[in-house]
Amino acid sequence: MKEFIEYILHFGQLNEQQIAFISERVKELELKKDEYFSEAGKIAQQVGFIVEGVVRVCYYNNKGEDITRYFFDENQLVVEMKSFESHMESSEYIQAVTDCKLIVISKSDWEAFSQSMPGWDNLVNKMIQKILLQKLEKRSPLIEQDATTRYLTFIDKFPQLANRIPLSHLASYLGITPSSLSRIRKNIQ
Amino acid sequence: MKEFIEYILHFGQLNEQQIAFISERVKELELKKDEYFSEAGKIAQQVGFIVEGVVRVCYYNNKGEDITRYFFDENQLVVEMKSFESHMESSEYIQAVTDCKLIVISKSDWEAFSQSMPGWDNLVNKMIQKILLQKLEKRSPLIEQDATTRYLTFIDKFPQLANRIPLSHLASYLGITPSSLSRIRKNIQ
DNA sequence: AACGCTTTTTGCCAAATGACAAGTGGTTTC
DNA sequence: GAAACCACTTGTCATTTGGCAAAAAGCGTT
């Protein structure tokens, strides 16, 4: 909980009362490995904050392959952005990669915070912009480098993630086949 | 100018007076092919709106290769987001791909709009989020498909762009070499 | 320990892409 | 119009990556 409040406070000021107001409305959520936090075709109903574990954002491409777009681990916000903001059906799944502990806030509470806290909208806007910029920075190296470099860049930037993620998910994230990633790992030793 | 106001009004309401207030502060800017709108290592000083022409966002990778990240054409906003928001040096160049006509607003005017127009910040936040989401949607297919599909997806989504862009820029955008793109084009006919 | 299941590794070959160099075609410049 | 320049294409060959199948390794259950 402390981590969640700290995370929020990066994006704006809140007083004790406001922090208490938020804290009263959070719930805990445990997800077992492979369970979904949200699913494609549904409308996002909650915002999550990862206390423990790893989740991935994924979808099925037109060949039916399961493609991972992002990984998130501890102290990161998890929300199906497009669906949550626009109240439209999500096109992505959010799935637990490991057993997870999350803090969640329902969409209705989250939106009601606008009314009770004057600075909330601005804070949320900054938060969302930060998350979107981070997503862009995660994806860019995946286009502009060869497969080995992509892998090395990934383990350099997220060393704590690589060994918590099944090879198959990491391969689809990097845009290569599992066999290729396996070979790349062997060549690096 | 009309197009620029229409663009802004997609993201919020403005009255006649506010529209006039903005209109008085815009300037016109012409860029010849290959001239820069903004440069890496500098701090963004203005926001641009493309009236005519094509620009690209690009950078030099660690091999010194010129890599294109995005193309923008008519009726789109051009701003070095990260630099503009955070007042930090940009890491990217924005360059005219063709001769361009732009409408520009200085950073100081843009920021002063917050004071004179109550809804401005919220409008800008929505605008920036939309631009970031669009950037993500442009980049995603570039990771998840093979080169031929990436090219076909590009000309499908941006048919009017492909023939205004030199092959070398499009190749780096797609993450392939110019020769490969040339061959891909030949194979499709 | 043995079984079934899943994940990862490996081998083999084909296809895609890159590197480099040479050739082609068009445009500008004098 | 010749020369210089630029962008694009093509040829040749090396390297990377994919597709497929089998083997090996890991993991939970009994």
Domains of chain A: which residue ranges? 2-135, 145-189
Residues whose CB falls within 8 Å of the CB of residue B11, separated by 6 or more in sequence, listed in order:
B123, B124, B126, B127, B130
Per-residue model confidence (pLDDT) at position A85: 78
Return the ∠ at Cα B68 (arms to A145 and A76), rounded to 5°: 60
Rounded to two decimals, what is the model's pTM?
A: 0.93
| pLDDT at residue B112 tops 90 | yes
Measured in degrees and rounded to the nearest 5, phi and psi for residue A72 equal -135, 140
- Nearest Cα neighbor of A119 from A11, A35, A20 is A11
Q: Does B180 touch chain A (CB under 8 A)?
A: no
Per the prediction, chain B carries an average pLDDT of: 94
Q: How far is A137 from chain B (nearest CA, A)?
A: 10
Q: How confident is the model at residue A49 (pLDDT cuts 50, 70, 90)?
A: very high
**A-contacting residues of B 29-68, CB under 8 Å?**
61, 67
B65 touches strand C (CB under 7 A): no
Average pLDDT over residues B79-95: 87
| pLDDT at residue A62 tops 90 | no
**The CATH number of domain A2-135, selected from 2.120.10.30, 1.20.120.530, 2.60.120.10, 3.40.190.10:** 2.60.120.10
- Nearest Cα neighbor of B28 from B6, B9, B53, B1 is B1
Give A6 or A85, the one with higher predicted confidence: A6
Contact yes or no for B109/B99 (Cβ under 8 A): no
Return the ∠ at Cα B69 (arms to A124 and B64), rounded to 5°: 125
Distance of CA B162 to CAs A8, B151, B170, B174, Å?
43, 9, 8, 12
Per-residue model confidence (pLDDT) at position A81: 81
Distance of CA B149 to CAs A65, A67, A70, A90, A148, Å?
15, 16, 22, 24, 22
Q: Give the whole-angstrom CA distance, residue A22 versus residue A38.
A: 22
Distance of CA A5 to CAs A20, A131, B106, B167, Å?
10, 16, 36, 49
Q: Which amino acid is at A14?
A: L
Residue B179's Cα: distance from chain center in Å?
26
**DSSP strand E in chain A: where?**
27-31, 36-38, 46-52, 55-60, 66-72, 77-78, 93-96, 100-106
Express each pLDDT in B52-78 by its tens digit. Answer: 999 999 999 988 999 999 999 999 999
- B1-120: CATH architecture: Sandwich (2.60)
Contact yes or no for A72/A78 (Cβ under 8 A): yes
A98 touches strand C (CB under 7 A): no
Per-residue model confidence (pLDDT) at position B81: 81
Contact yes or no for A77/A48 (Cβ under 8 A): yes
What H or E segment, with its residue span, contains residue A81?
helix A81-86
Q: Does B131 touch chain A (CB under 8 A)?
A: no
Contact yes or no for B78/B50 (Cβ under 8 A): yes
Per-residue model confidence (pLDDT) at position B2: 94
